[in-house]
Amino acid sequence: MKVVICGMSGFVGSALHDFFTAQHYEVIALSIRPDTSVDSIISVLNGSDVVINLAGANILGRWSTAYKKVLRSSRLETTTALTHALTHCSNPPHTLVNASAVGVYDSYHQHDEYSHHLGTDFLATLVQDWEEAAMSARDLGTRVCIMRFGVVYGKGGGAMEKMLPPFRLGLGGRMGDGFQMISWIHLEDLVRACLFLIQNEELDGIFNFTTPEPICNLEQTKKMGKQLHRPTFFSMPEWVVKMLFGEGSCVMLDSKEVYPRRLQEAGFTFRYPTFDSAMEQIVHDQE
């Protein structure tokens, strides 16, 4: 099987590359920039079986007006260019697997894929527009699977790489009031779930890439301290987070309680369903 990955240089993309290569798939990187020609995209897509689109600027950070434009363009323009190129492929991939985020949901309800309680802020609107751009490939007869990522934890990058150093120094603590729910997934389960979608061709549409057991920030903080044998007395008040990150602070402070109902209904099993099991593996791997 030939798999094309758009956005392969990132934390998730590099993990997917290694995972699919180990499965003896042919993996090809695709980079789409504003000046990338349609013909060059077509030349990579033609004859491939699956394209995985992960392209998008890092959502963690301070959202200035300029950076919000980057967040939108890096997702929407890239995805639009990709789906446009598909229309011109003589032998297009049969499946598009597109990244997305649980930021699409509001912060006041529990959610599975059948939830209609979507957010109305910048992030939720961006995610909805991004998914709509990817779903347009359905008009071409392409199967589209949307992966709504929670926070991705794994060794060597992502959120855990930023979280572990202060906790190891005994400087870890809750963020805001600590009651916000965090929906997350271990990197190993993420790549396995992606393969699961590809192999089960009857599956399409929206899938929450989160574990069955979300956790509140305060409980997560306690578990990290226990696993690392460090105190967790420090905290970052909400006003400090908002001062540092502005509107982007919603990524850290908003509650997202999201469940992977469709993956579980389809028979996918998580190797790391609990935060304890994930932390134990990540810390052990980094020792």
- Per residue in 81-129, pLDDT (tens digit) is 999 999 999 999 999 999 999 999 999 999 999 999 999 999 999 999 9
Q: Annotate the chain with DSSP letters as a single string.
A: -EEEEETTTSHHHHHHHHHHHHTT-EEEEE---TT--HHHHHHHHTT-SEEEE-----SSS---HHHHHHHHHHHHHHHHHHHHHHTT-SS--SEEEEEEEGGGB-SSSEE-TT---B--SHHHHHHHHHHHHHHGGGGGT-EEEEEEE-EEE-TTSHHHHHHHHHHHTT--EEETTS--EE-EEEHHHHHHHHHHHHH-TT--EEEEES-S--EEHHHHHHHHHHHHT----EEE-HHHHHHHHGGGGHHHHS--EE--HHHHHTT---S--SHHHHHHHHHHHH-
What fold, for 2-153+184-211+258-270?
Answer: Rossmann fold (3.40.50)
**Banded model confidence at residue 233, pLDDT cuts 50, 70, 90:** confident
pLDDT given for residue 286 in this prediction = 61
Determine whether 194 is exposed, middle or buried from the number of CB atoms within 10 Å of its CB (0-12, 13-18, 19+).
buried
Model confidence over 29-77: pLDDT tens digits?
999 999 999 999 999 999 999 999 999 999 988 999 999 999 999 999 9
Q: Could you tell me the residue ranges of all domains in the chain?
A: 2-153+184-211+258-270
Average pLDDT, the chain: 94
Over residues 163-173, the pLDDT tens digits come to: 888 888 888 88
pLDDT of 51 reads: 98
- Average pLDDT estimate for 202-210: 98
**Amino acid at residue number 246:** G
Q: What is the percent of the chain where pLDDT is above 70?
A: 99
Look at residue 189 in the predicted model and tell me its pLDDT.
98
Question: Does residue 287 have a pLDDT over 70?
Answer: no
pLDDT per position as a tens digit, 149-164: 999 999 888 888 888 8
Whether pTM > 0.85 for this model: the answer is yes
Question: Angle between the 65-86 and 38-45 helix axes, to the nearest 10 degrees?
Answer: 60
Question: pLDDT at residue 180 above 90?
Answer: yes
What's the pLDDT at 12?
96
